Amino acid sequence: MKHLLASGAVGVGLLIGSSTMASAQSCEISIGSVLSITGSMAAIGSAIGDAGKLAVDHFNEAGGVNDCSVKYILRDDQGSPNVGVDAAKTLVEIEKVPVLLGAIQSGVSLPILTSVTVPAKVTQISCCSSAPSFTTLAAEGGTQGYWFRTLPTDRPQAAVLAKIAAERGYKKIAIIHVNSDYGVSLAGRFKQDIEKLGVTVTNMVAYNQEQASYRAEVNAALQGEPEALFLVAFPADGATVTREWISFGGPQKFVFSNALRADEFVESVGAEYLADAFGIDNAQVEGESVDAFNKAWEAAFGSAPNGPGLHTMYDAAAVALLAMEQAGEATGTAIRDNIRKITSGDGEVIYPGVEGFKKAKQLISEGKAIRYVGATGPLEFDQNGDVTGPYLIWGVKDGELVTLDKWDNQRVSAAIGEIDN
Amino acid sequence: MSGFAAYLVFFLIVALTYSIVTMGLNLQWGYTGLFNAGVVGFFAIGAYGTAVLVGPDRAQLIGGFGLPFPVAVIGGMVLAALAALIVGLATLRLREEYLAIATFGIAISIQLVALNFEALTGGAQGLVGLPRPLFELFGSPGAYNMFYLCFVAVIAILVYVALEVAVRSPWGRMLKAVREDETAARSLGKNPAAIRLQVFVLGCTLMGLAGGLYVGFIGYVSPLDFLPILTFQIWAMLIVGGSGNNLGAIVGAVGVWGLWTMSGLGISRLLPVAYQSQGGAIQVILIGLLIVLTLIFRPRGLIGETEAVSRHTR
């Protein structure tokens, strides 16, 4: 009788053509991942792949998803969109994955999203693609909600910084930014936001990395008598720019991007010049859940998880697996609809690792709510699939980096809301 | 549609798109001996031209004309042709390797312009939300892909037939004359410079056409799509398939693209999960190995050039 029921369930499953798994004992769910194992991002790609696999291994050790074991299929995109799209298509059509993790570069993730995952109703979660165009596409309805990413975008950062700069009463501000995808989009976003708050941007100057001097850029930025400088830079170049700004008599009022929160930067500029400076950083870089991930990584690979994308990739895989567990079925739409259920609300907090997933499975089977706090800290996805994490505002006091203020998710969302309206 | 069939349709759309590029290159290299190492540049112009003309209006962008897809593709082709005309006038006096270096540099410049001319191309973020032609008419993505495959296949066949007619015409024989011995061709009163320019523009127009078809299918375009690797992929397709033979160009495009992509599928199936992060490297080695082996055992390609002698001399 049992056998009859099981085969009946399989038959129905085949009929409706979905990969829904009944709670049969020996079953397997595949999840796919498209990353750059070779090509221009090869240096970071395979470690990111390992981070995804670690999450799957942890989940399998905790008993698998809906009692099915999870198979992790990693495909290489060679750093090319055409190869990545093809790999994604084979994962979706042949391996029948309900969720696709990746890709690293936005230029690979986006064509996969538009031509493979959204049409096939497969959820896509990226660890590493930061381009703002995903938000645009999602807001237009182009992703149908199937897109998520676990790294914070520059949207909230720019809004928070603009809000504080306006509150400090700056009327005219200059911008100097590194000429990269990151620098251009954060600076552009900040300009838009702060102009909405009634502050004039006197000049926006891009600089190219690793040069001995930035006099020309600083000079250009000083035109129009700005009252403060917004600097998007990395520590070494940032220090050069800041020193030259001060020596040319620029006002010692600074707004700094997250990458400048480094002791070497403060030391090489001189703390006495930075009394009136503030900057931003993700507040989720520490905490118990982060430690749990770091320990698990060290146990598995014998070294500390230093490198971009490792924490965010683990979380991408973890939220997908937990959403499947919560939904009780492994389809893209079910995952899409359950991701927010397991990351927000007042449920019991779940940390990364085998123990955490075991606890999560237990609670879900009892019908209780859970809230996953991941390797990157608390994750809350907005309606466009972006995470708005908490932020901290840092400054310099007595020669030391200090935290001036903390912005939780509500405050960040409120700031964005105020600027958008 | 079962999984593999759905994938095959998807695969063939991309492969046939590349076969149009390969036929364009075949006209230039296979028939006329022009070493165009900037294939991807003209593919990019066709793609961006189409994207700008077909795309939705956006405040921060110059483009977004929202034109119908066929008009946009033709626009992209015209732009590619104009670019080829300018490039051709400037560089076609150069011979083989010099022409290769010049066109290679031009392709990289085009990619850099796409990366930096943000107001037109969207910069590093690319152009998103491009409409896919007639997408609304089809209920499922599978059915739509089937339609798009037919569409691309019809265009590829039209291009193939047109090229076959052209290369068998007196004009086509002239191409080979220029390729084999330019001085002899000139002594017969032909104008090799004009022929080279015509062929260069025509071939690049086909590359632009393929760029437009690619954009229509993917619905997105970014500078990452146009890295120099694509030029080498197209060259591999032409050489493996058989330079100087249009059917060879199509076979090469499908074959090499199949090798390039399906080797990944095979490896991910065969390799134990623990070694998956090495799979990418194995795939790249395998691709290189198979291309080298093909060239060792079939130096003229899978389908080489057939001897062409005027039927009147037989």
Q: How far is A80 from chain B (nearest CA, A)?
A: 7
Does residue A65 register a pLDDT over 50?
A: yes
Q: In B, which residues are within 8 Å of A72 by CB distance?
A: 273, 276
- Those residues whose C-beta lies under 8 Å from the C-beta of residue A193, and which sit 6 or more positions away, are A158, A159, A162, A163, A419
Q: With CB atoms and an 8 Å threshold, state whether A37 touches B280.
A: yes
Nearest to A115 by CA among B9, B26, B101: B9
User: Looking at per-residue confidence, does B58 or A73 come out higher?
Assistant: A73
CATH of domain A24-151+309-378: 3.40.50.2300
Inter-chain touch A110–B217, beta carbons under 8 Å: no
Contact A324, A335 (CB under 8 A): yes
Cβ-Cβ contacts under 8 Å for A279 (sequence gap 6 or more): A254, A255, A256, A257, A258, A260, A261, A393, A394, A395
Q: Which of A42, A89, A133 sits opposite B126 (nearest CB)?
A: A133
- Cβ separation A46–B264 shorter than 8 A: no
- Give A312's contacts (C-beta < 8 A, 6+ positions apart): A127, A128, A149, A150, A151, A375, A376
Is residue A25's pLDDT more than 50? no
Chain A 18-47, residues with CB within 8 Å of chain B CB atoms: 37-38, 42, 45-46
Question: A86 contacts in B (CB within 8 Å)?
Answer: 10-11, 14, 261, 264
Peptide bond into A103 cis (omega under 30): yes
Token readout for A215 is 């006099």
Nearest CA in chain A to B140: A119
Chain A residue numbers with beta carbons less than 8 Å from the beta carbon of B218 are 81, 85, 111, 114-115
Contact with chain B for residue A212, Cβ under 8 A: no
CB A77 within 8 A of CB A84: yes
Task: Using a pLDDT cut of 70, give the percent of chain A over it.
Answer: 92
Residues of chain A with CATH 3.40.50.2300: 24-151+309-378, 154-283+390-420
Do A405 and A390 touch, CB atoms closer than 8 A? Answer: no
Question: Residue B111: CB partners within 8 Å, gap ≥ 6?
Answer: B40, B41, B44, B223, B226, B227, B228
Question: What pairing do the DSSP bridges indicate for beta strands A400-407 and A391-397?
Answer: antiparallel
B264 touches chain A (CB under 8 A): yes
Q: Judge: B280–A38 Cβ closer than 8 Å, yes or no.
A: yes
Residues A96 and A29: their CA atoms lie apart, in Å, by 9
Place of tokens 């890295």: B227
Contact A315, A375 (CB under 8 A): yes
Q: Using 50, 70 and 90 to split pLDDT, how confident is the model at A370?
A: very high
Per-residue pLDDT tens digits for A288-319 = 888 888 899 999 988 888 777 888 899 999 99
pLDDT value, residue A420: 81
Token pair recorded at residue B273: 């999960």
Q: How far is A74 from chain B (nearest CA, A)?
A: 6
Nearest to B230 by CA among B50, B6, B47: B47
Contacts of B276 in chain A (CB under 8 A): 49, 53, 72-74
pLDDT confidence tier of residue A281, bands split at 50, 70 and 90: confident
Interface of A with B in 119-158 (CB under 8 A): 119-120, 131-133, 136-137, 140, 142
For residues A37-65, average pLDDT: 87
Contacts of A107 in chain B (CB under 8 A): 124, 126, 222-225
Q: What is the pLDDT of residues A239-261, one digit of tens each?
A: 999 999 999 999 999 999 887 88
Q: Is B226 on the interface with A (CB under 8 A)?
A: no
Task: Report the C-alpha gap between B309 and A113 in whole angstroms.
Answer: 51
Domain residue spans of chain B: 10-227
Q: How many CB atoms lie within 10 A of CB B102?
A: 19
Contact between B281 and A142 using a beta-carbon 8 Å cutoff: no
| Site of tokens 């799209």 | A85
Min Cα–Cα distance to chain A from B137, Å = 14
* Any B CB within 8 A of A86 CB: yes
Q: What is the mean pLDDT of residues A144-159?
A: 89
Question: Within an 8 Å CB–CB cutoff, is residue B222 touching chain A?
Answer: yes
- Structure-token pair, residue A158: 């720019």
- A15 pLDDT exceeds 50? no
> In A, residues 314-333, which contact B (CB 8 Å cutoff)?
none
**Amino acid identity, position A259:** A
Joined together, the tokens standing for residue B31 give 């028939």
Residue of B nearest to A81 (CA): B225
pLDDT(A376) > 50: yes
Q: Which residues of B are less than 8 Å from A71 in CB distance?
A: 273
Q: CA A287, A290, A292: angle at the middle one, nearest 5?
A: 110
Rounded mean pLDDT of A178-200?
87
Cα torsion for A361, A127, A98, A52, to the nearest 10°? -60
Q: What is the CATH number of domain A154-283+390-420?
A: 3.40.50.2300
User: Could you give the strand order of the β-sheet that contains A99-102, starting from the edge strand earlier in sequence?
Assistant: A69-76, A28-35, A99-102, A123-126, A147-149
pLDDT band at A131 (very low <50, low <70, confident <90, very high): confident
- Provide the phi-psi class of A96: left if phi over 0, else alpha when psi is between -120 and 50, else beta: left
Q: Which residues of A touch B11 (CB under 8 A)?
A: 86, 89
Do residues A315 and A151 make contact, with C-beta atoms less than 8 angstroms apart?
no
Is residue A285 less than 8 Å (CB to CB) from chain B? no
The confidence score (pLDDT) of residue A2 equals 44
Residue A23 has pLDDT above 70, yes or no: no
Radius of gyration of the CA atoms of chain A, in A: 23
Flag if A72 and B273 touch (Cβ within 8 Å).
yes
**Rounded mean pLDDT of A61-65?**
92
Q: Which amino acid is at B222?
A: S
Structure tokens at A412: 């960040």
In this complex, the residue of A73, A89, A132 whose CB is nearest that of residue B10 is A89
CA distance A393 to chain B (A): 28
Contact A82 B128 (CB under 8 A): no
What are the φ/ψ torsions at residue B210 (nearest 5 degrees)? -65, -40
Instruction: Give the pLDDT confidence score for residue A106 in this predicted structure.
Output: 85
**B220 to chain A: closest CA residue:** A111
Per-residue pLDDT of chain B (314 residues; tens, 9 = 90+): 578 899 999 999 999 999 999 999 999 999 999 999 999 999 999 999 999 999 888 877 887 788 999 999 999 999 999 999 999 998 888 777 888 999 999 999 999 898 888 888 887 778 888 888 888 888 788 899 999 999 999 999 999 999 999 998 999 989 999 998 888 989 988 898 999 999 999 999 999 999 999 999 998 998 888 988 899 999 999 999 989 999 999 999 999 999 888 888 888 888 877 777 777 788 888 888 888 888 899 888 888 887 766 666 65
What tokens appear for B19 in the block? 């076969």
Cα–Cα distances in Å, from A362 out to A65, A71, A329? 12, 21, 16
What is the spatial distance between Cα B283 and Cα B261, in angstroms, rounded to a whole number? 9
Q: Which of B121, B265, B282 to mutate to test the interface with A (most CBs of A within 10 A)?
A: B265
Beta bridge partners of B32: none
Residue A7 has pLDDT above 50, yes or no: no
Rounded to an integer, what distance in angstroms lies between the CA atom of residue B197 and that of residue B62?
A: 31
Please, which pLDDT band fits residue A284 given cuts at 50, 70 and 90? low
CB B212 within 8 A of CB B47: yes
Structure tokens at A254: 């600074």
Contact (CB<8Å) A94/B283:
no
| Contact between B9 and B217 (Cβ < 8 Å) | no
Terminal CA-CA length for chain A: 62
Distance from CA of B129 to the nearest CA of A (A): 6
Token digits of residue B280: 């990418």
Q: Angle B203-B208-B210 (CA atoms, 0-180°, nearest 5)?
A: 100
Give the three-class secondary structure for B221.
Answer: strand
Per-residue pLDDT, averaged over A86-94, amounts to 92
Q: With contact defined as beta carbons under 8 Å apart, do A176 and A143 qualify?
A: no
Is residue A196 predicted with pLDDT exceeding 70? yes
SS (H, E, C) chain A: CHHHHHHHHHHHHHHCCCCCCCCCCCCEEEEEEEECCCCCCHHHHHHHHHHHHHHHHHHHHCCCECCEEEEEEEEECCCCHHHHHHHHHHHHHCCCCCEEEECCCHHHHHHHHHHHHCCCCCEEEECCCCCCHHHHHHHCCCCCCCEEECCCCHHHHHHHHHHHHHHCCCCEEEEEEECCHHHHHHHHHHHHHHHHCCCEEEEEEEECCCCCCCHHHHHHHHCCCCCEEEEECCHHHHHHHHHHHHHCCCCCCEEECHHHCCHHHHHHHCHHHHCCEEEEEEHHHCCHHHHHHHHHHHHHHCCCCCCCCHHHHHHHHHHHHHHHHHHCCCCHHHHHHHHCCCCCCCCEEECCCHHHHHHHHHHHHCCCCEEEEECCEECCECCCCCECCCEEEEEEECCEEEEEEEECHHHHHHHHHHHHC
What the block records as the tokens of B64 is 């977004």
At residue A39, the pLDDT reads 76
More confident residue, A119 or B123: A119
Task: Please give the residue of chain A at the shortest CA–CA distance from B126.
Answer: A107
The Cα B15–Cα B256 span in angstroms is 9
Is residue A17 predicted with pLDDT exceeding 50?
no
Q: Is the pLDDT higher at A55 or at A406?
A: A55
Q: Tell whether the model's pLDDT for residue A227 goes beyond 60.
A: yes
Name which of B6, B129, B264 is nearest A87 (Cβ-Cβ): B264
Under DSSP, the state recorded for B48 is H
Mode of pairing for the β-strands spanning A391-397 and A277-282 = antiparallel
Tell whether B116 lies on the interface with A, counting CB pairs under 8 A. Answer: no
Query: What is the model's pLDDT at position A6?
Result: 45
Share of chain B above pLDDT 90, in %: 52
Nearest chain B Cα distance for residue A103, angstroms = 13
